[in-house]
Structure formats: C-alpha cells, structure tokens
Structure 1
Amino acid sequence: MAALRYPLIDPNPPRLSEHLDVLKRVEESGIYSNNGPELRAFEAEATAKLFDGQGACLGVGNATLGLMLAIRHAIGRAPGHGKLALMPVFTFAATAQAAEWCGLTPLLADIDPGDWTMCAAAEERLLQRHGDRIAAVIPYATFGTAIDLDRYAWLMRRYQVGVVIDAAASLGTIDAEGQGFGTGAPFAIVYSLHATKTFAVAEGGLIHCGDPAVIDELRRMGNFGFAGSRAATMPGLNAKMPEIVAAMARLKLAEIDRVVASRAEVETAYRDVMANVTLQQVAGERRATQFMPALLPVHVDRNRVIAALAAEGIGCGAYFSPHLGQQPWFRDHALAGPTPVADDVAARVISLPITDAMTPADARAIATQVDAIVAAQGISTRPSAIDSMLVIGGGPAGTALLTAASKQGKLADLAQAGLTIVERDDALGGGRLGRYAISSDSTAETFLSAVKDNPHPEIAALVDHPAARQVAKFAGALGVPLVDAGPLLRVTGDRLAQIVSANGGRVATGHEVIDARRQPDGGWSTRVRRLSDGAISDHRSTTIVIATGGHQPLNRLVGQHVAGVPLHQLADGKLMQSDELLALGGLDRAADVLRSKRNPKVVVIGGSTSALASVALMLRSRPGIAFGAGGITLLHRRPLRPFYHSAEAARADSFDDFTDDDICPVSGFVYRLGGFRLEARELVLRMLQVDGRAPDPRVASHLIGDNENAARRMIEDADLVIGALGYRPHALPLFDVAGQPIALAAHDGRPMVDPHCRVLDANDRPIPGVFGIGLAAGFVPWGRLGGEASFRGQANGLWLWQNDVGQMIVDQVLGEQERAVA
C-alpha cells in the first residue's frame, strides 16, 4: 500500500543524529539514569516555561508509570483493594490499567455530549452512590482540552477523595487564564511524552503539581520507595526517566511553543471548513492538538468513510472506539452503568490528521474531502442479502433461542432462511454467568436438557463432554455453581454456532450492535460495530431479536423510595447493588466494609431471587463474616413464598398458605412462577419456620409497610445496605423510518415484551419485527405455558427460554418467512 500523503500520526521527536553534542554531553557525564543532570534540568526548565515557575515537575519513564505513581500517592500507602477509581469511560486503556495496578476497580462514568470529558452530573451521582468506596477520581482532559481543575479541587475537599488528572495529550495546552494547563494544581497532573504526542519525545511522561512536596514524594516512590538510602520506606517501583530521554525532552521543550501554535492554526482551519460533522467543544486559549476528532452523522458508515479517505491519501482513525466499557477486560473487571453518550460518541468518532508538517491549507483540503464523502454517502447502502432474523446477543438467552430451534429440528431451517447472531464476546453461550460467585436458580438437569437427546448429534454428544460431566455432579443439588455452568453453555454455544455457519447463517463474535432503524419496506437496518478496530457495517433483516440481558441501573437507586424516603438518602454512602455483591470478588468488598464492625449489620432490600441469593452468599462466606443474631435483615414488600410440586406436597410439609389462584392449572405446581426454588427456597422455608424448621438466628425479615419507621431505622443503622431491586433490560436504541427514536415501554419501567415476546413501544403497542428474550424482558407465561393466576411480575428461567419462549419466537419468524415466500 502506498504511503499516505497525510498520515494520521507522523511522529516528530528531536533527531539525536542532528544533536551529537547532546549525546556527547550525556556520555561525558557518566550518568544514564537515577535522576541525573539532564532530567533535573528538564524538570526545572519545564516548570519555568510551561507552568510559570509554580510547583515542581517529575520526569518518568512513561505516562502510565506516572499515573500509577500518582494514583497510589493519592489513595495513601495502604493498598486500594475493594476501593474504586472513578474515571470516564471514554479514555485510553492506560487510565484504567494504572488504577487496577494500584488495586482499584475502575468505576466508569458517562461523558458530556459537548466536550466529551467526564460528565459532571454522573460524577456527582457516583460519588454520592459509592461514598468512601471511591478512593480516587481520575478525569481525562479529552484530546488535550483544558478541563476545570478548580472543580476537581472542590470535589477533592468535599468528598475527601484523591484526584489525579490524566492529561496525556495536554502538554503545551494553555488554559483560559493564559497559563499552561495544570499550573499550580493541588494534585498530580500526568502528561505523556510519547513519540505520537504533540510534545513528541520517545517513551516518557511528566508529572506536575503545585505542591513541590508531592513531587518529592513521587520521586522517592518512583525510585523503589527509597528515601535517602537504599532501604524502601514507602510503596515504590522503578519509574525513572533515562537521561537520554530527558535530553531529548529538553530539545523538544525549546520548540514546543512553535509546534503547538502551528497545530492550533491547523485545527482552526478544520473548524472553519467542516460542516457535515460535529466537532468537540474545547476550553482554554489553545490546545496541544494531537489529531482532529469529529463525529460523523448518525447512520453514516465510518468504515466506508475511512476507506474513502485512505483512497485520497488521508489517514484516519477512531479514538476511542471501542471505549473502556466495550473492551473485554474492562467489561469483566470494571463497574459501569449505562453510558449512552459515550456509546454514541465512540460509534461515530473519527480522528483526522494534524501533524507538524501540515499547514492550514492542508487542513482545509482534508476538511473539504471529509464533507464531500459524508454528503455523498448519506445512509449506508444496503447489502444485497436480507436476513430473516438478526439475534442481538449470544449469551444464555440468545443461545437458548438457538437451542429451542435445535430441539425442534428447525435450527438449520432458520440459518438457511438468513440468520445472523451478533455477540460482543469471542464465543457464544457464556455471557456474564461465569462472573458470579453463586449457584444457579436452574437445576443441573435443566442445563443438561439442552444437549441430552438433541436432534443434532454434535450437540447430543456433549452429554459426555467434561463440562457436562461437571454439571452432572450437581444433579439433585440446590442449583449449579455458575462458574461450573458457564463452560457447558460456552461449548454448547460453539456447537450451535457451527450448525448455523454450516447452513449459511452468520455468527459475528467480537461485534456489538449500536442501534436499529426501521426501513420503508418494514424490515430493519442494524448498525454493527467490530470491536477490534471500531469498523461499522449495516445489516438488513426482516426481524431482530433483542437478547442483551439485564442490568441494575444506578438511576434506579436514585429514584427508589423505601419507607417513604429516598433510598440513597437513607443508605448515605453505604449502598451496594446485589449484582455487585454476587459477582466474583463482591463478597470480599462487602467483607472489607464490615471487617472493622464488632457486630455488623446488613440490610438487604428486595424480595427477588437475587435478594435471597445475597443473604445466602453472606451466610456461607468463607472465612465467615461474624454476624450476630439479626445481623442480616431482609426488607421486602410482598410475602415470601416457596415453590411446591403440588398442593399435596405443600400440605404434607404443613404449608397451606395458598389458594386455588396460587396453583398452576397446567402443571399443578404451587407458586410455580412466584415461588422461590432451590437454595433460595430452603432459606425461605426456614425463615417461615415451615413444618417446624428452625430459622437461622442471624437472619431477620421485615415486610415493609407494617412499620415504616422501623424499616427506616433498620436502613439508617445498617453498616451495609444491599439493593436487590431487580433488573432492567438493556433496551436497544430503535429509530423509525424518519430517524426519530422509538420510545419503549421498557424506558418507563414496564415489561419490554408482550405475551408473544414482541417488544412494546411506549404506548404498549408491539413494534413489528422486533422480539425480546432473556433476563428482564418482562415475559409472563400464559395459556398452555401455565402459571398461577395470582402471579404478578415477570418470569425468567433457562428452561423457559430453551423451550416454550424460544419456540414461540422461532415459530413466528419462520411463519413470517413462509408467508413472505407464499
């Protein structure tokens, strides 16, 4: 491929071959590291030139090391295990990786739609929600813009939290007061000197702080924690900048004003010309622009734009796409709620060239090309093939749909009619199940029923697979540990994917769906992003199936009232969601909170399976949390009911708290849908003292409404409050033919689907060609599916998805296909 006329990045560090005197100076000193004369000179010169002589600077080996030092210093000398680092989801991986190396869990916040920095409202909500669990706030000065440091100084004082600014691309940026960005800040500001940055050196970093004492301590930490002798007195690592890099940095410092000023003129030229894209709102007098970021219009194919620009000799990228919340490691190891703004920005962002060699005329020429390409493209052209069905999500619910088709002998037909499955992970089946430290609410027999006697021999053979044999060990037990169930779901997903592909269907792992738009012919055009490089393509289908699972949104906690008072006010910084507790490592975080309490008190709020699972997990913790009598209180609004296989079985167990409306007319089960099963059932039976069972003295229950003042006091007196308020669906953004958003019933907290699994709009009308399945979809069995008349709520269960619910969707899709052919 020919070299680009305008490469996206054109590194321009000082050329040492033109400065042999500098090399000779370093060699003659005989010092090559260890805070030598070149480094000390660079730090002093940078302080004087870039920061008006205020505070001090420290050169480090690279900016990631600088972040690690600064974060560890900000949180104190104790390790940060169980604590959180609040940061924007739209930033480079180094921000989150540095926090993790300091023992912190990244807490990812959405961004502002204008300047793409961390959203102030989201910061406040998360600081109030997590309280002193947040050890550090790490804002990112997005693409070199000058963020409001006074606000972060205020947050640091108000919440008693450490602050470190990731200003990787900002060295040379001038703030609104005409000073170098970061000048005199009371916390560490970390800049990158990487060769691709505007302050291009090699692999290096610079830390500035208005307090020289902070820099002194960071210097000692960056030298193995040595303080005046070769004995470590504090946490440390080797973060020192080599002398040759410091010498290069001094050369770059001498020209940085000219470089930044030239790049600022190029940025201005872009802004003067480009009209068909959205540009970042920036603050400050001048920024050290690394490249020109912009947002493409909705439904313009970014991949095609990048290819068209490359054909014109123009390099183009997409920073940061995928954002942190879309990257596999951080999906599994960070905490994140919905981030709709960042999702949208990451889906549409492009990065255009700004290099030291470019002129404003070059920028105007590129901008003209961008506008022309965007205008000519409009909405992406349709591919020639139109699928009958696009399944969005290949986790337990999405693969359960495929399993239902396979058990009917219809999976091959579905694939041949045009089937595409889109899944973010690199394989189908597992989803997030393996992340949880609890047992399933489905039996081993249910998991095995997906493969046993399956019409497809390659699936039926899995009954002898090691993953299936491991699940079979729990036959007759109270569920299967999810870490053991996950491998069977994944290997089943592999076989299902092979059948789909062999019959002409498509399996797009490592991809995610952005949104879907209704087409004039009644079908759907769905935007799909490849996570490896951010490339976006459009997929046409007659129907789409949303199987993206559920989540516990943070705004649910903010709006929830318990005993007549907002829950977040009652809990006052000691609130944890059950999803967080039940995940691997969640119990350890809860134990950290309770460890110092002589008689720890925990309140679990909710009457869901996750509420009972939370209680059970804490009771059996190893090593155990030292709960005394009534140490755990369950607050719930509805009576707790156990499941029974028949009315006779219930009465034989001396349980008669049910009527005919509580018995399923199809199966004869008592509380078939509303009753607790397996481990949760055993706990409820003890709590209700059914048939003389002895309750666990450590557990108490309280029906909210009997005495709201008592409930309020329980929450206020608790050391930890677990919110088990149920799950809401990940509702896919849908647009009508005119491009307007379609409001969904799920947006208002109502069920996402109707009795036929069709997704409902805000007026509770089914949206043609859109189905939903899985956790939090809101499906309620009916007719031949059975269920008790008294049931209020939604039914979730792997068996249901793999059988009746999945079959219902498959039959409707194939029926529509048959009618279309006819």
Structure 2
Amino acid sequence: MKRLPLITPHPPRLSTLTEALARIEDSAIYSNNGPVLRAFEADATRRLFGGQGACLAVANATLGLMISLRDAVSDGPAGRFALMPAMTFAATAQAAWWAGLTPLVCDVDASDWSAAPEEEERLLERHGAQIAAIVPYATFGYGIDLDRYRWLSKRFGVAVVVDAAASLGTTDASGVGFGAGAPFPIVFSMHATKPFATQEGGLIHCADVDRIERLRAMANFGFTAPRTATLPGLNAKMPEAMALVAQARLDEFARVSRHRDQLAEAYRDAIAGRYVMQPHRAGRQALGFFPLLLPSERTHERDAIIARLDEQGIGAGKYFSPHLGEQPWVRGIAQIEPTPVADMVGSRLLSLPLSDSMTVEDVARVVDTLDRVVAVEPRSAYRAMPPVAKTMIIGGGPAGTALLTAASRHGLLPDLARGLVLVERDGAIGGGQLGRYAITSDSTAQTFLSAIEGNPDPAIAALADHPAALAVARHRASLGVPLAEVGPLLRAIGDRLHASITAHGGTVMTGMESLSARRKDGRWHVRLRDTATHRDTEHVAENLVIATGGHQPLDRLVTQQVAGTSLIELAGDRLLQSDSVLARGGFEMVADLLSGKRAPRVAVIGGSTSALTTVALLLRERPALPFGAGGITLLHRRPLRPFYHSVEAAHAEGFIDFGPEDICPISGFVYRLAGFRLEARELVLRMLGVDGRAPEPRLALHRVTGDHDEAARDILKNADLVIAALGYRPRALLLEDAEGRPLALAAHAGAPMVDNACRVTDASGAPVPGLFGIGLAAGFVPHGKLGGEASFVGQANGLWLWQNDVGMMIVDQLLAGRARVAA
C-alpha cells in the first residue's frame, strides 16, 4: 500500500543544477546579494506579485520577521507590544521577542482561524500606543484582508508586519500573489516543507522599494556603506546556491500550484458537510497540508485517530496544537488574552497530507479512511435529530453542561439524552467564557473535580488522569483555582458529555446561535442560525432550558443611582464595569488608566463576590499600583458577611454577628448563601478584624446609608476610577407567544428569571409551560432540602449547585414529564 506521509518535501534537486552550480563556483560569488539572488528576486516580483514593489530573499522567514519588525518599530511609537493571533507558529513570537517586543496574543475567528477582528480592535483601543506593531498571520495560507490592516495602521498609528510563512502561492481571483502591493512587509517561508519548497529560505515582499533596500542593509549587518553599520543588523543573507534552488522552484511553481490546488479541491468536495474547514475564497490557497476540525465529541480521541490513520499508511498531525498561547516559553514572556476559540480550534485540528506527489485518488483514500476511523455523520443535516425534541438546551457553557453532569452523576444521562438537543454557539461545549478571566474561582478545586470523581460514566471518570484535571487538582489546598486553568477541564468534560449524548440518541448542535423561541401548539418552535453559513432553521421541542449565561448590561449604568444621584452623573467617563476589569488584561487596562496618578483613588460599587474579587485583584497584582491608605473604597449597602462551616467555627474565631435565622438548617453553615468564601472571605475577615486580623490599610469600607449619603457621593466624585460591580442579568433570548408577540417575563422587571423550581416565570409570576432556566443571573434561591439561611435575600449561583441539586431539580422535572406522557 502506498504510504502517504503528512509532509513530503519536494524541493528542486541540486543534482539537476550542476551546470548552474559550476557557474557560481566560476564566478567566486557565493553570497552578499550576488547576481543569482538578484535575478531571482526580480523574477519573483514579476511572476508572483504582478511586478508591483520589490522582493528580498533572506536566509529564512524567521530572520525576515525579525528585521522587518525591528525596522517597523525603529522610528515609530515607543510601544512594547506586538499583537498577534494565537493560531500561529512559535517563530512569530520568537521574532517579536528578538526584536525587543512583548507578544500580545489574542483570540482567533471561529470561521477562518486568523486573528479575530473584534479582538484586535478591542486591544488596540485598550492599549493604544503601547502596541508597537500588529503581526497578523495568514493561517495555513489563508488570504486575510490586508486592506483592513492598512486601515488599522492609519487608524491607530501602528506598524504592520504580516507573517505569511505558509502563503507563498496564495493568490486572489485574478491570479496575483497574496500581499502584492502591500505598503508593509509580507514575510514568506521557502522552507522544504512549504508549497514553495527550496531547502531553507524566506522572501519579503513590499510595495515600498526603499523599505526593501533598508531591510537588505539590515540583513547584511546594517551596512549601508562598505563595512559601515548605520542600521541595526544581523546576517540574514541568502547564499547564491540557495537562490539558484529558489529560481528552479519558481520556474516550476505554476504547474506545482495548479496540481496542489486540484488536491485541495478534491479534499473540499470529499469532506463537504462532514468536517469543518476554512472557508474557500476566490483564488488559490497555498496549502502545505489540508487542515480540518474533528467533530467535538471526538476531540479527546485525536491522538488515537492519528495513530489509527498511521496504521493505514496515512500520516496526520495537529498543527497548531498547542497553539501559541499554550507554548510554555511564550506563556512566560508574553501577555496572553483569553483564547476560547483558539483553544477549541486547536484541540480539534487535524492535518492531512497534501503533497506534490499525491493524486486525487490518494485524497479519496485519505478521506474514506478518516471517515471509517472517526465514524462521522454528516454535520450539516444533523440527521439524528428527531422532528420534535423532548428537550432543547440553549447554551452549552458551564451551566448547560452542569445540568448534564448532574444527570450523569446519577446515571440518568442516557435517559435524558434520548430526544435531547443541545445548542451551542461556539465550536465545542463545556468551557464557556470562564477562561477569559484573570481571577481565581469562588469554588474549590474539589468542586470542579467532583464532576469526574466517581462518575458512573467511565469516559468521564477517566478524566481524573487528564492533564487538565491534574492541573486543577494542584490547587486542592488553595483559595480557589485560576479560571484560566478551569476552562480546559470544563472543555474536556464537555467533550465527553458530547460523546455520551450522541451515543445515546441525542444531538449536539455546535456553531449554532439561538435567535428566538415561539410557544405554539403546546411546544417551542426555536429559530436557530448556523454561524458559518448564516442559514436559519426552525426546530421544535417540548421543553426548553435556557442556559445562556449572564452579562453586565450597559443600560443598567444609565438608570443606576447611588445615594439618590445618577451614577453616570457622579462618575462620568471614569466609569468601568467589573467584568472588564476581571477579564485577562483588565488589570493592565486599569494600570494604564491610572498611570499618571501618584496616589490613585478607586471606588468599587457593590457588595457581591465580583466586587470583593475586583478589590482583591487590584490589591494583589504585580507590579503593584501605588495605592496609599484608603486608596480603594468599597461602597456597599448590606453588611459584609463571612461564611463559616459551623457555629463552633465562627465562635472559635470570636465571630458572633449572626443569629438563628443566619444558620442553614440543613448543613449548619453560617451565612451559607450570603457569606463570602475563599479569597473574598479572607478580605472580609481582615476588614472586620475577626480573630485579631489586621485590616488591609489600602482598603476603606463605606456602607451607603440612603439617598442622602453625601459622603458616598463625594467618594465617587473624587475617585480617579469608578468600578461598578452591580451583578449580572440574563442574556436575552427572544420568547414569543403563538402570534409572535414578545412574552413578558418577570426578569424584564428586574425580578428573578426563575422560581424555586427553576421554572421561568412570566410577568405575573406564573411559570411559563415547558420553560426552565439555569446559570448565572437566573436568580434561583435555594430552599427546602437545598438548605440556606432564612435571612438570605438575593440569588445563589455556583457550579456545585448546578452540578447537584439545582441541575437535578430540572432533570427530575424533564424526566417526570416524559413519564406522564408515556402513561
């Protein structure tokens, strides 16, 4: 059987170039921008880039990136960051670091896997002049929008250097090479594994001929005159012999590119509807291999799939996994933003062979073998989905999957899965947005691990030895777990839940956005949109569970009053929401905003966990902000209460500020629901001076007494920064009656979304038939056998509750409803 390696280098053979090599030897010119190299550069400019601008051949693409970045920031703003996407090779970050910049790694777009535009623009707005350069990566040779980067460069005054390592051979619809006429450097690789294969080498193209000549000097020790360095430089020159190989590749490249494009088209035709791939743009995409995403329920089997393909003579890989933000060295020197999409894409990527020596028949064999190994069903049709689902869960984040975890822990997931449809906007379930936060959890490591330990589903129980579980387990003795480490574990659990659901007759619809749900004929008619194709479809379900999470709406700030005065009026443009501060990079944003203040003053509004966590973040992060005594003021209405496991534990520390109504009758916990836990609890204990603890001198507490609290108004007026931690509200899903009129819900008036049975209630407080809610901002209050103190006012959220009693409350109702129908 013909073996098909993942990478099969096909550079021109030196043994066929002996006459030309002899001419180089006769000339005695081996390097230093000799005639062979110059001829190749001119020919490449003409053939590949329509004669626009100029090209510079260098020893390799990494050196090309290094000198291009160093040149780009030489006369520009004194920024320290190089903004780049997570889905790129380590060389991108290495080159930026060698050029004196700190990589700032952002998330990618779920469709084409290049940098997410909204993330780039958010970071440019946040960091401003601190970003010296953007380094977009044309992922797997994909033709990214360079006009947009022209606009970003002008809009933000930032340099641009494009890492197009894999893109030599990518063209537009007219056949002109990617990057032709770009005003900034486009850096290509000519490594042996690339479509434009030499042995080693790089090519820089730019419309600015003067810049190319400046880069040429930098590649030659910075010499602009004989042996006179006037620029920063190094030795990046391409020797004449390698330029000869590059010229030979150029001579055959049109034929090679047509053949490889035929193979790529064969792949696209063969896998259509069964695997996710990059969208196909007009023109040609240079591909060194063919990348696709495995179904999310097969993510945890990727290594085994690669091994089984290898047994069938087919090489496969997983570029880029780990992605840039997961590389250990990069994590030590870079600032890495939340990358949930890159995490998902990286975990599912599979690279298949595509080489000069392959045939279309070889492609058919590869895909047929992959189908048999993966046993995949067509994605686009979701054929397993019943005409009427028993239950549809909208949202596959931590709350939606916690409901499934609760069922799995009681051995009920197979029953629940029959007729179940789970809808999730992202490409995989489980992780949600937790990984985007720079804080520790308010749940213990054991809470997260309890979903695994002793689970009747052997696939979920086996996660105990998963690297993500071991990373969380290291924090068993800590005050919470860094949320950046929680995300991978929840995604791993999500993958196993996905597999279990589909194995028992359910359907998981990833990449689908829920638009609306109409109650008609005793059922829910739900309109969904495919985020890749933007095609809308309608699906029917008997029951609907909303697990779409919560957010901090801006309109709340407009109506919010503090001490009888509008918050907007008091704080003006100094106002932030806690969610943006707690996100990764939020502390740096605050530091930038306060950078001109010798003794900054910050006011945090709210008495919630997010408020205390915001204060803790500002106090502990490094480099420390120069807060003086009382530099941070926490404004709250209700007393701040610490949680205790028992009355005895509270008394042992001398804490007696509670009564019988503050003790949970089920567990005996003091302030079980109202009390702060873990890191927030420690801060409250200090500020209350419990058991002789010394208060944190940089923090002051101010309890707002009412509409006439002039001191509260003064604190807000005089603060350099005001952070609102006012809680979360449910993410909206448009709910309609049979005539298409919006359903009026209790949540619209600021009341909890659900009642004490997790049923969503209408404006009159009556439960809406067949509609449940779970998760952040649902407003659930534990009661009865769930425990909780009688004095508690507010809502209770937490992964432990969702994975246990709260989740089971919904599961029991859903399965009981089925039993009634069957009877």
Q: TM-score range, shorter-chain basis?
A: 0.5 to 0.7
Structure 2 counterpart of 1:290, from 286, 291, 313: 286
Matched to 1:780, the amino acid is V
Structure 1 counterpart of 2:190, from 190, 193, 196: 193
The corresponding residue for 2:44 is 46
Whole-angstrom CA distance in 2 between matches of 1:787 and 1:820: 34
The corresponding residue for 1:800 is 801
**TM-score normalised by L of structure 1:** 0.60
Change (3 A) 1:83 1:757: farther
The corresponding residue for 2:442 is 441
Q: Conserved in 1, the CA contact under 8 Å of 2:59 and 2:236?
A: yes
Structure 2 counterpart of 1:164, from 152, 157, 161: 161
TM superposition shift of 1:349:
13
Change (3 A) 1:375 1:714: same
Q: Conserved in 2, the CA contact under 8 Å of 1:81 and 1:103?
A: no
Matched to 1:206, the amino acid is L
Q: Conserved in 2, the CA contact under 8 Å of 1:608 and 1:724?
A: yes
Indicate the SS of the match to 2:806.
Answer: helix
Change (3 A) 1:752 1:444: same
Matched to 1:626, the amino acid is P
The corresponding residue for 1:570 is 573
- The farther-off stretch of 641-650 and 800-809 is 641-650
Whole-angstrom CA distance in 2 between matches of 1:337 and 1:447: 21
Q: Conserved in 1, the CA contact under 8 Å of 2:79 and 2:132?
A: no
TM superposition shift of 1:686:
6.0
Indicate the SS of the match to 1:157.
Answer: helix
Matched to 1:190, the amino acid is V
The corresponding residue for 1:103 is 102
The corresponding residue for 2:56 is 58
Confirm whether residue 379 of structure 1 aligns to residue 375 of structure 2: no
Q: Name the % identity.
A: 48
Matched to 2:103, the amino acid is L
Confirm whether residue 617 of structure 1 aligns to residue 613 of structure 2: no
Alignment gaps of 5+ in structure 2: 300-308, 368-375, 529-540, 561-565, 736-742
Whole-angstrom CA distance in 1 between matches of 2:680 and 2:482: 15
Whole-angstrom CA distance in 2 between matches of 1:726 and 1:805: 20
Whole-angstrom CA distance in 2 between matches of 1:468 and 1:181: 44
- The farther-off stretch of 702-711 and 45-54 is 702-711
Whole-angstrom CA distance in 2 between matches of 1:773 and 1:761: 16
Matched to 2:160, the amino acid is V
Change (3 A) 1:352 1:769: farther
Structure 1 counterpart of 2:245, from 243, 248, 264: 248
Q: Conserved in 2, the CA contact under 8 Å of 1:467 and 1:488?
A: no
The corresponding residue for 1:22 is 20
TM superposition shift of 1:245:
3.5
Indicate the SS of the match to 1:105.
Answer: strand
The corresponding residue for 1:155 is 152
TM superposition shift of 1:157:
3.3
Whole-angstrom CA distance in 2 between matches of 1:154 and 1:428: 35
Whole-angstrom CA distance in 2 between matches of 1:691 and 1:375: 62
Q: Conserved in 2, the CA contact under 8 Å of 1:47 and 1:55?
A: yes
Change (3 A) 1:242 1:295: closer
Whole-angstrom CA distance in 2 between matches of 1:219 and 1:803: 65
Whole-angstrom CA distance in 2 between matches of 1:449 and 1:325: 31
Deviations 1:443-476 (A, max 9, x none): 68978999999999999xx9xx9999976756xx
TM superposition shift of 1:249:
2.0
Whole-angstrom CA distance in 1 between matches of 2:211 and 2:763: 54
TM superposition shift of 1:159:
1.5
Whole-angstrom CA distance in 2 between matches of 1:269 and 1:403: 41
Number of residue equivalences: 734
Indicate the SS of the match to 2:617.
Answer: helix
Change (3 A) 1:728 1:446: same
TM superposition shift of 1:106:
1.3
The corresponding residue for 2:641 is 642
Indicate the SS of the match to 2:626.
Answer: coil
Q: Conserved in 2, the CA contact under 8 Å of 1:663 and 1:670?
A: yes
Indicate the SS of the match to 2:782.
Answer: coil
Q: Conserved in 2, the CA contact under 8 Å of 1:165 and 1:190?
A: yes
Q: Conserved in 2, the CA contact under 8 Å of 1:290 and 1:354?
A: no
Indicate the SS of the match to 1:104.
Answer: strand
Whole-angstrom CA distance in 1 between matches of 2:378 and 2:472: 54
Indicate the SS of the match to 1:612.
Answer: helix
TM superposition shift of 1:19:
3.0
Q: Conserved in 2, the CA contact under 8 Å of 1:647 and 1:668?
A: yes
Whole-angstrom CA distance in 2 between matches of 1:282 and 1:428: 28
Matched to 1:103, the amino acid is T
Whole-angstrom CA distance in 2 between matches of 1:251 and 1:78: 39
- The farther-off stretch of 700-709 and 204-213 is 700-709
Q: Conserved in 1, the CA contact under 8 Å of 2:672 and 2:788?
A: yes
Change (3 A) 1:484 1:814: same
Whole-angstrom CA distance in 1 between matches of 2:30 and 2:766: 72
Whole-angstrom CA distance in 1 between matches of 2:571 and 2:232: 36
Change (3 A) 1:733 1:3: farther
Where do residues 583-602 of structure 1 align in structure 2 (5 Å cutoff)?
A: 598-602=598-602
- The farther-off stretch of 704-713 and 51-60 is 704-713
Matched to 2:187, the amino acid is V
Change (3 A) 1:564 1:470: closer
Whole-angstrom CA distance in 1 between matches of 2:88 and 2:766: 42
TM superposition shift of 1:642:
2.0
Indicate the SS of the match to 1:208.
Answer: strand
Indicate the SS of the match to 2:673.
Answer: coil
Whole-angstrom CA distance in 1 between matches of 2:394 and 2:664: 32
Change (3 A) 1:279 1:132: closer
Change (3 A) 1:204 1:815: farther
Confirm whether residue 699 of structure 1 aligns to residue 696 of structure 2: no
Whole-angstrom CA distance in 2 between matches of 1:11 and 1:435: 39
TM superposition shift of 1:598:
3.4
Matched to 2:243, the amino acid is A
Whole-angstrom CA distance in 2 between matches of 1:218 and 1:743: 64
Change (3 A) 1:12 1:622: closer
TM superposition shift of 1:676:
3.0
Q: Conserved in 2, the CA contact under 8 Å of 1:221 and 1:236?
A: yes
The corresponding residue for 2:304 is none
The corresponding residue for 2:337 is 335
The corresponding residue for 1:627 is 627
TM superposition shift of 1:217:
5.9
Deviations 1:685-715 (A, max 9, x none): 6667899997544234676986798677556
The corresponding residue for 1:533 is none
Change (3 A) 1:334 1:380: same
Change (3 A) 1:405 1:10: closer
TM superposition shift of 1:818:
6.3
Whole-angstrom CA distance in 1 between matches of 2:291 and 2:750: 31
Matched to 1:57, the amino acid is C
Indicate the SS of the match to 1:106.
Answer: strand
Change (3 A) 1:814 1:3: same
The corresponding residue for 1:127 is 124
Matched to 1:208, the amino acid is H
Indicate the SS of the match to 1:57.
Answer: strand
The corresponding residue for 1:534 is none
Deviations 1:450-506 (A, max 9, x none): 9999999999xx9xx9999976756xxxx356599979999x989x989x99xx999
Change (3 A) 1:30 1:49: same
TM superposition shift of 1:809:
4.5
Deviations 1:586-628 (A, max 9, x none): 7688668867853345555654323312322332456644322
Matched to 1:335, the amino acid is E
Whole-angstrom CA distance in 2 between matches of 1:587 and 1:551: 22
